[in-house]
Structure 1
Amino acid sequence: MGNGMNKILPGLYIGNFKDARDAEQLSKNKVTHILSIHDSARPMLEGLKYLCIPAADSPSQNLTRHFKESIRFIHECRLRGEGCLVHCLAGVSRSVTLVVAYIMTITDFGWEDALHMVRAGRSCANPNLGFQKQLQEFEKNEVHQFRQWLKDEYGENPLKDAEEAKNILACRAPRMKKCACPLPKKMLQPCSSECHHKMRREIIQCTVGSVFKVSHLGTGQNGMLHF
């Protein structure tokens, strides 16, 4: 299936639905935990630990309420020296939002710097505008409490993520690695055009065609497809 998932930090990857079913790729990257966030999230493979969050890629979808359980799931995996894949359908919006919130919590980054860091590893990372607003509000109102909670719960972070993140921004951001995600940059923002719908259908057919029928999909608000 190809090496579609992208490494963001040691033990932390972002990918799409297809990557989450690729046993060879998961084994190669020592992935033991999968955080699955999309409309029909459910465990897919045996022998892996899952956190499944049903959520639509809609600006009105509240992801903030899932930040704490997601951060806990990712952090506990990484503290064990294991690998966690965070994925949605295309690995562009929902999964990226959760990873950005995690990076904000383990570093002193604001949401924009955290997103830039994610894009250094996965250039197609692009949360929808509603999720960006939620990250902005998280930075303004909650991230300091989350940082203290994480420290109280797990102690000092032995992974030296703050230093690693700063190095990634300094060294990798200017030459961002090409993302394996099939969405071209011009299609990353939601729109109502038929070309956007066509692109989304092609992605879904390629990614989940063996599990879901495209005929069962419906178009929601903001030009997004849901299943």
Structure 2
Amino acid sequence: MGNGMNRVLPGLYVGNFRDAKDSEQLKAYKITHIVSIHDFAKKLRDDIEYKCVLASDTPEQNLAQFFPECNDFIHEARVKGGNVLVHCLAGVSRSVTVTAAYMMTVTNYEWRDCLNAIRGARSYANPNFGFQRQLQNFGVEKLAAERERVKSMHEPVPYNDNEEMKHLLDAFHKFVLHGDPNRDDGLLNLPHKAYKDRPKAIHVNSDSEETQGASKSMDNQNNQSNETQNPQTVSQQT
């Protein structure tokens, strides 16, 4: 994931760890603030203001607890005319989640639209399903209060973020979904809290999918073996 940082709103960029160390990019995009989100996040430069969030890229990681403080940091920087880079290691999951939460807070859009808007600028953005759940929960349970809190504590940014969102979503539908309105965006499709009693029903990455596929294959083989060895038992159960 080394295509450079991507602008998602005026004064707001998403990138990876390499981008955060790239002096040429930081200078070109006039980055004044950095939100660093990974297991070993720390300040790397004295000429840039940092918000460091220690968090792992796992579905169980509570990333939502950091949304308000990151919102404050990002918003205040933008109000002052600064440029913020939000980065993790790959610029795919953690940084995208925190950026989406901020975009939800300062626009009229919900979590899915905000993620897809980011994908309009950064097509491979794809938070793990645990983080998608947290964004969904944030939108249902805490977003209204967080919007009011940010409005009451900060000046408005000098940009039309809702209009910017429209352009990003247009780009997403054109270049990622290829203009097909019926194409699945690949994000979490369960309604709020539908997964509460069955969290293992959702797999997070290719490794878990391969493991589940292998397990199903073994189950099928065992079932076929049982049917061959015990035809009478199978017939009675049927």
TM-score by length of 1: 0.76
- RMSD over equivalenced CA pairs, Å: 2.5
Q: 1:170 to 1:98 in 2, by over 3 A?
A: same
For residues 113 and 127 of structure 1, what CA distance do their matches in structure 2 show? 14
Q: Deviations over 1:66-86 (max 9, x none)?
A: 000111111111111111000
- Count residues in correspondence: 187
Contact 1:151 1:157 in 2 (8 A): no
Q: 1:3 to 1:31 in 2, by over 3 A?
A: farther
For residues 29 and 42 of structure 1, what CA distance do their matches in structure 2 show? 21
Q: Deviations over 1:173-217 (max 9, x none)?
A: 4125xxxxxxxx9xxx52337x9xxxxxxxxxxxxxxxxxxxxxx
For residues 145 and 13 of structure 1, what CA distance do their matches in structure 2 show? 25
Larger Rg over CA atoms: 2
For residues 156 and 27 of structure 2, what CA distance do their matches in structure 1 show? 29
Q: Which runs of 4+ in 1 moved over 4 A?
A: none
**Offset of residue 108 of structure 1:** 1.1
- Structure 1 match to 2:225: none
Contact 1:119 1:173 in 2 (8 A): no
1:119 matched to 2:119? yes
1:7 matched to 2:7? yes
For residues 63 and 172 of structure 1, what CA distance do their matches in structure 2 show? 25
SS in 2 for 1:31: coil
- Structure 2 match to 1:92: 92
**Offset of residue 170 of structure 1:** 2.6
Contact 2:120 2:170 in 1 (8 A): no
**Offset of residue 163 of structure 1:** 1.8
1:158 matched to 2:158? yes
**Offset of residue 171 of structure 1:** 4.6
SS in 2 for 1:192: helix
Contact 1:55 1:61 in 2 (8 A): yes
For residues 101 and 65 of structure 1, what CA distance do their matches in structure 2 show? 11
Q: Structure 1 vs Structure 2: percent identity of aligned residues?
A: 48
TM-score by length of 2: 0.73
